[in-house]
Amino acid sequence: MRLLISNDDGVFASGIQVLANTLAAAGHQVTVVCPDQERSATGHGLTLHDPIRAEAVEGIFDPSVSAWACSGTPADCVKLALGALLEAPPDMVLSGINHGANLGTDVLYSGTVSAAMEGVIEGIPAIALSLTSFAYQNFQPAADFAQSLLETLGHHPLPMPMLLNINVPPVASDGIKGAVLARQGVRRYFDMFEKRVDPRGKTYYWLAGEVLEDVEDIPDGYQALAQHLQQLPYFQGLQNMPTDVRAIREHWITVTPLQYNLTSSLGLIALQQWQGNAGPFTSSS
């Protein structure tokens, strides 16, 4: 396969080096276009008011890997690769291996996920890979799983361009139970800002906080709608599917398909009740 690989941890990150080298050794044609420094938690930001520079990189990856370091965001990197640096579109866009989890609502902030999603926006299937620890350093199990998944996708392509968000537990290969499909959970944070003063006497703030792991509760008022939704054939069985946060705690690799369409199905059902009543909407039928 022709593979484009990016990340948000930067060109010198171990995760992208292990991933690119593993896939190149497996015979894939690998091109790396990633930030020249860490760009974590940049979301899907794009550079609009400054030039974007890209320089060829040598000596970091396997000699068969073509690599570029880009001054922009992770989304910039993929957009630039597809629009200017690559001679032909890749078969797959990969992002990672991120050093840290991208579970639940993390995906809304993640530069790793956003880089992969840029591929999906351009009609190219994508994979985002994350190792769910900042301290654990063994990226090889995640890279090996990526290679196994690519082999499967080569025989059974995805029915449509989508993003497979993959999180790998920070344990040795023999400690991983396997891989499961998981729905996106909720990973909320207890945010706080530390107020500090710089050497010149000016105040600044540093974002800190702790993760409030899995939140399973459905907000009041949505219970009936959720139950109704679960009765629809398309959604049957999803409620019993584990969340990515819970499955990771049990040492499963999680695979969660994501899309950039953020339409709320529950919200549509709720607002449809306004049609024909006193609400502001007119029926389309």
Q: Cα–Cα distance between 61 and 179 in angstroms, integer?
A: 28
Q: Cα–Cα distance between 59 and 243 in angstroms, integer?
A: 40
Q: Cα–Cα distance between 161 and 119 in angstroms, integer?
A: 9
The verdict on residue 47 lying in a domain is: yes
Report how far Cα 283 is from the mean position of its chain's Cα atoms.
37
CB 45 within 8 A of CB 117: no
The more confidently predicted of residues 206 and 61 is 61
The verdict on residue 285 lying in a domain is: no
Report the percent of the chain where pLDDT is more than 90. Answer: 62
CB 74 within 8 A of CB 51: no
CB 52 within 8 A of CB 72: yes
The verdict on residue 61 lying in a domain is: yes
Per-residue pLDDT tens over the stretch 157-206: 888 889 999 999 999 999 999 999 998 887 766 666 788 899 999 998 87
The verdict on residue 195 lying in a domain is: no
> What is the band of 268 on the pLDDT scale with cuts at 50, 70, 90?
confident
CATH number (domain holding residue 27): 3.40.1210.10
- H-type alpha helices, the chain: 14-25, 74-80, 111-121, 140-155, 223-230, 244-249, 265-272
Helix (DSSP H) and strand (DSSP E) numbers for the chain: 7, 11
The verdict on residue 253 lying in a domain is: yes
Look at residue 253 in the predicted model and tell me its pLDDT.
94
CA-CA distances (angstroms) from residue 186 to 44, 128, 217? 20, 18, 9
Per-residue pLDDT tens over the stretch 106-134: 898 899 999 999 999 999 999 999 999 99
The verdict on residue 229 lying in a domain is: no
Q: Tokens standing for 68?
A: 């570029």
The verdict on residue 106 lying in a domain is: yes
**Domains in the chain: how many in total?**
1
- Residue 57 domain boundaries: 2-183+244-258
> What is the band of 279 on the pLDDT scale with cuts at 50, 70, 90?
low
3-state secondary structure of 280: coil
Look at residue 275 in the predicted model and tell me its pLDDT.
63
The verdict on residue 57 lying in a domain is: yes
In residues, how long is the chain? 285
